[in-house]
Amino acid sequence: MENLFFQSNPQKRKTKRGKINKGTEKVNSGAQVKHDHRRKILGETSNHHNLVFCNYKGNIMVPSELTRAFKRSLKAANLPDSRFHD
């Protein structure tokens, strides 16, 4: 199943750290639409924890799933192999 990477309800920052560019806004809004659609389909079986990293049902993603998804994303974007925390 596909995993989503986004924060569903981001908090406003108290410090100025820069602005989010339009491309990032489009990606985030598209991901939110997919997420909302998935929640509607899953109904009560979907968890609503507002996690940044979650599986397709909204549950906590196990670390190995996150690593695999990150590696796939790097490969799809033609980026060099890297660890998540680098």
pLDDT band at 1 (very low <50, low <70, confident <90, very high): very low
CA distance 83 to 86: 5
**What average pLDDT does the chain have?**
72
Say if residue 17's pLDDT is above 70. Answer: no
pLDDT band at 52 (very low <50, low <70, confident <90, very high): confident
**What is the per-residue pLDDT for 48?**
64
Listed in sequence order, the residues at least 6 apart from 57 whose beta carbon sits closer than 8 Å to its beta carbon are: 42, 45, 46, 47
**What is the per-residue pLDDT for 24?**
66
Torsion of CA 70, 75, 79, 84, to 10 degrees: 20
